[in-house]
């Protein structure tokens, strides 16, 4: 309450001082304005001059009649009279005449001026009495107006004098108030000076206590001004940075230690200058002459003087031992987490394998049930037909029925063989005997054999320049892969369409591209085509159990190659078999890595 009164009293006194001073100046200005007589308001002079000019015009008319003056001087007097009347009828003078009640009379007299002008222009000796008669109303009106104007001006002057006397009294009272306000301000300033001295003594005591507190603190305390000059450097900071206070205080903080030149440390100090508190934990610090770093926590705060920021204070704490303990605990925790994670991954992998195996057997059972049932049904139907009509069958029909049965049995044999090959492949019972092999010649032979079996399709082979393309592979498995890919191209394309087989080299690889007309569904389906027992949406009604592409890719990767699908080239599907060239065989590790991708 006392502090509030100490602030409010001088403010109120100063406000009173300003108000009284402004009031006094306003009243002085009003007194000066009231005492000033403006020429436009001196109606007595204007009316009297008009009255005099009318009398002079009458006298000039009489002297002209007896021949003392000529016509030009008479007209000069007449013009002076007209100018006085015009001044009386103009602006504030006219408004004053209206206020005195002579506005209508003045208008009537102005309307008679043409008559007076004609008399003056042709004045004869006998007309002098006529001029006096015409001028008589002007003289009478001007005389009365002058009397009224004089009375009005004296009344107005009396009112102004009374008003000025009252205003001067108010000014005297205001000056007395100003003097009292000044006395109050002087007394307040004396008291304020005495209180300031008392506060200065208390501040010195608090400063001494703060210096004692800072000096005995266990953490480094550093203070800087806005120019980053060090102003406080306690004993803990001396021990931590190995620099006495005399070498730090007064110097720029970055020159005191390279630790404060680090960007994040310098930015933290800048944030404190902007009024934000910043905390940086576990900051590495290399003391002079030490190889191993210390770790410190740094907290930066703004140093304020009232509402203004005058610097920043930095608290530096050595946390090296705490960090070592935390790191040991963290390492132990990480080790436990790794063990738990490894065990969890093992369990997840086992569960995934078990689910995959179960799903595989379900798909396999469904596929086998569907694919094996069809050829068995064909064989059974053919045999039943032969048995029922054995005595009526023609040799040709017997051959046709027997051929259908054999074809179904061959299909069933291929299915069983594919299933057994997949099982051998999963069991690792297939050996790879790589040797130089002409991939172009092998592809041409396979295409000739396929053309004989399916003459409805046009199969062309493209070998660059007819030169051999030597690949390092197992010829038996390479033939198995190409037969599988070419039979798929025939199976999933329409009769009469073209199938192209192109052999070329690409870098250190020999490639064989088998392309046919057709489409494959979404990208997800394309990626799944190389999985076991998975068939595309266009395989409906076609024989097979979905292991051909899986075996083709697996066999290719076992030989250091690969099988890729390209179904983005318009309406064509291309399967590409790539194998290492004979002069650049693939290493064993590369082949194993590709094989692991398939697994």
- Topology of domain 219-318 in CATH is Beta-Lactamase (3.30.450)
Mean pLDDT over the full length of the chain = 77
pLDDT of residue 5: 59
CA angle 550, 556, 559 (to 5 degrees): 140
Pairing verdict, β 498-506 and 458-462: parallel
User: Is the pLDDT assigned to residue 544 strictly greater than 60?
Assistant: no
Task: Please report the sign of the dihedral spanned by the C-alpha atoms of residue 414, residue 417, residue 422, residue 425.
Answer: negative
Domain 342-428: assigned CATH number:
1.10.287.130
CB 530 within 8 A of CB 542: no
Task: Please report the sign of the dihedral spanned by the C-alpha atoms of residue 587, residue 588, residue 590, residue 591.
Answer: positive
> Burial of 216 by CB count in 10 Å (0-12 exposed, 13-18 middle, 19+ buried)?
exposed
pLDDT of residue 410: 63
CA–CA separation, 186 and 164 (whole Å) = 33
In the chain, the N- to C-terminal Cα span, in Å, equals 86
How would you classify residue 311: left for phi > 0, otherwise alpha for psi between -120 and 50, otherwise beta? left
Digit-coded pLDDT (tens) for 338-374: 889 888 888 888 887 677 556 655 555 555 554 555 5
Report helix, strand or coil for 315. strand
pLDDT of residue 511: 92
Digit-coded pLDDT (tens) for 30-53: 766 665 544 445 677 777 877 788
Which residues, in sequence order, are bridge partners of residue 483? Answer: none
User: Is the pLDDT assigned to residue 590 strictly greater than 50?
Assistant: no
**533 vs 395, residue with greater confidence:** 395
Residue 318: its H or E element: strand 308-318
pLDDT of residue 577: 92
Compute φ and ψ for 299, nearest 5 degrees: -125, 130
* Selection from 246, 240, 333 nearest residue 290 by Cα: 240
* Selection from 514, 503, 507, 498 nearest residue 552 by Cα: 514
- Residue 325, both tokens: 């303990």
Digit-coded pLDDT (tens) for 207-253: 666 666 565 667 888 999 989 999 888 888 888 888 888 888 889 98
Task: Please report the sign of the dihedral spanned by the C-alpha atoms of residue 360, residue 362, residue 363, residue 365.
Answer: positive
Report helix, strand or coil for 303. strand
CA–CA separation, 507 and 236 (whole Å) = 69
Region 293-316 average pLDDT: 89
Question: What contacts 24+ positions apart, CB below 8 Å, involve 42-48?
Answer: 42/153, 43/93, 43/96, 43/97, 43/100, 43/149, 43/152, 43/153, 44/146, 44/149, 44/150, 44/153, 46/84, 46/87, 46/88, 46/93, 47/88, 47/142, 47/145, 47/146, 47/149, 48/142, 48/146
pLDDT of residue 216: 63
Length reported for the chain: 599
User: Is the pLDDT assigned to residue 596 strictly greater than 70?
Assistant: no
CB 378 within 8 A of CB 390: no
DSSP, residue by residue, 427-438: HT------EEEE
Digit-coded pLDDT (tens) for 110-134: 777 787 777 777 766 666 666 667 7
Q: What is the pTM of this model?
A: 0.35
Digit-coded pLDDT (tens) for 412-455: 665 555 555 555 555 555 677 888 999 888 888 889 888 888 88
CB 295 within 8 A of CB 320: yes
pLDDT of residue 589: 41
Report helix, strand or coil for 169. helix
Digit-coded pLDDT (tens) for 505-535: 888 899 999 998 887 766 666 666 777 666 6
CA angle 324, 326, 329 (to 5 degrees): 110
pLDDT of residue 474: 87
- Residue 360, both tokens: 């595989």
pLDDT confidence of 587, banded at 50, 70, 90? very low
Q: Name every residue whose Cβ is closer than 8 Å to that of residue 586 and which is 6 or more positions away in sequence.
A: 472, 559, 560, 561, 580
pLDDT of residue 530: 73
pLDDT of residue 593: 42
Q: In what order do the strands lie in the sheet with 562-569?
A: 458-462, 498-506, 509-517, 572-580, 562-569
Q: Name every residue whose Cβ is closer than 8 Å to that of residue 476 and which is 6 or more positions away in sequence.
A: 433
Which residues, in sequence order, are bridge partners of residue 462? Answer: 502
What proportion of the chain, given as a percentage, has pLDDT over 70? 74
Domain 430-598: assigned CATH number:
3.30.565.10
Digit-coded pLDDT (tens) for 174-191: 778 778 877 877 887 788
pLDDT of residue 597: 46
| Residue 492 to residues 76, 106, 552, Cα–Cα distance (Å) | 132, 125, 17
pLDDT of residue 287: 83
pLDDT of residue 429: 54
Q: Which residue in the block uniquely carries the two structure tokens 């770790």?
A: 295
CA–CA separation, 417 and 423 (whole Å) = 10
What proportion of the chain, given as a percentage, has pLDDT over 90? 8
- Residue 43, both tokens: 């109606």
Highest-pLDDT range among 139-153, 194-208, 479-493? 479-493
Which residues, in sequence order, are bridge partners of residue 509? Answer: 506, 580
> Burial of 271 by CB count in 10 Å (0-12 exposed, 13-18 middle, 19+ buried)?
middle
Q: Structural domain boundaries of the chain?
A: 2-184, 219-318, 342-428, 430-598
pLDDT of residue 598: 44
CB 577 within 8 A of CB 561: yes
Region 6-28 average pLDDT: 74
Compute φ and ψ for 78, nearest 5 degrees: -65, -40
CB 21 within 8 A of CB 48: no
* Selection from 301, 211, 302, 222 nearest residue 259 by Cα: 222
């Amino acid at each position: 309450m006392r502090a509030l009164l100490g602030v409010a009293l001088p403010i109120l006194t100063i406000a009173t001082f300003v108000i009284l001073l402004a009031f006094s100046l306003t009243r002085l200005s009003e007194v000066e304005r009231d005492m000033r007589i403006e020429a436009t308001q001196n109606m007595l002079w204007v009316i009297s001059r008009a009255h005099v000019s009318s009398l002079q015009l009458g006298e000039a008319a009489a002297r002209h009649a007896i021949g003392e003056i000529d016509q030009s001087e008479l007209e000069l007097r007449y013009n002076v009279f007209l100018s006085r009347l015009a001044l009386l009828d103009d602006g504030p003078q006219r408004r004053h005449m209206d206020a005195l009640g002579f506005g209508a009379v003045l208008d009537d007299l102005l309307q008679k001026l043409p008559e007076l002008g004609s008399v003056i222009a042709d004045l004869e000796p006998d007309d002098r009495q006529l001029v006096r008669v015409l001028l008589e109303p002007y003289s009478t009106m001007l005389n009365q107006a002058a009397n009224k104007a004089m009375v009005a001006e004296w009344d107005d002057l009396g009112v102004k004098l009374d008003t000025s006397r009252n205003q001067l009294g108010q000014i005297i009272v205001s000056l007395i108030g100003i003097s009292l306000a000044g006395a109050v301000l002087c007394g307040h300033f004396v008291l304020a000076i005495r209180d300031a001295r008392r506060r200065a003594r208390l501040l010195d005591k608090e400063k001494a206590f703060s210096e004692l507190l800072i000096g005995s603190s266990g953490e480094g305390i550093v203070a800087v001004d806005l120019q980053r000059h060090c102003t406080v450097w306690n004993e803990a900071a001396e021990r931590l940075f190995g620099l006495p206070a005399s070498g730090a205080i007064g110097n720029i903080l970055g020159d005191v230690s390279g630790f404060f030149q680090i960007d994040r440390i310098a930015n933290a100090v800048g944030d404190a200058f902007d009024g934000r508190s910043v905390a940086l934990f576990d900051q590495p610090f290399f003391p002079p002459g030490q190889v191993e770093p210390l770790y410190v926590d740094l907290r930066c705060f703004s140093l304020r003087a009232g509402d203004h920021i005058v610097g920043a204070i930095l608290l530096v704490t050595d946390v090296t031992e705490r960090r070592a303990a935390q790191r040991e605990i963290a390492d132990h925790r990480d080790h436990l987490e790794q063990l738990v994670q490894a065990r969890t991954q093992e369990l997840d992998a086992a569960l995934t394998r078990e689910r995959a195996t179960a799903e595989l057997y379900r798909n396999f059972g469904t596929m086998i049930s569907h694919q094996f049932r069809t050829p068995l049904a064909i064989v059974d139907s053919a045999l039943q037909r032969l048995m029922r009509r054995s005595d009526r069958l023609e040799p040709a029909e017997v051959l046709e029925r027997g051929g259908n049965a054999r074809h179904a049995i061959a299909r069933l044999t291929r299915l069983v063989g594919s299933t057994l090959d997949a099982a051998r492949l999963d069991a690792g019972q297939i050996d790879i005997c790589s040797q130089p092999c002409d991939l172009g010649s092998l592809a041409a032979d396979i295409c000739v054999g396929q053309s004989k079996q399916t003459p409805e399709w046009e199969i062309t082979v493209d070998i660059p320049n007819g030169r051999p393309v030597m690949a390092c592979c197992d010829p038996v498995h390479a033939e198995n892969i190409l037969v599988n890919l070419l039979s798929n191209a025939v199976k999933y394309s329409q009769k009469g369409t073209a199938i192209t087989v192109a052999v070329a080299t690409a870098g250190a690889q020999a490639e064989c591209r088998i392309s046919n007309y057709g489409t494959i569904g979404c990208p997800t389906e394309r990626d799944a085509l190389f999985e076991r027992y998975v068939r595309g949406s266009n395989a409906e009604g076609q024989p097979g159990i979905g292991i051909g592409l899986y075996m083709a890719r697996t066999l290719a990767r076992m030989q250091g190659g690969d099988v890729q699908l390209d179904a983005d080239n318009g309406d064509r599907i291309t399967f590409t078999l790539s194998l290492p060239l004979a002069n650049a065989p693939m290493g064993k590790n590369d082949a194993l890595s590709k094989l692991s991708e398939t697994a």
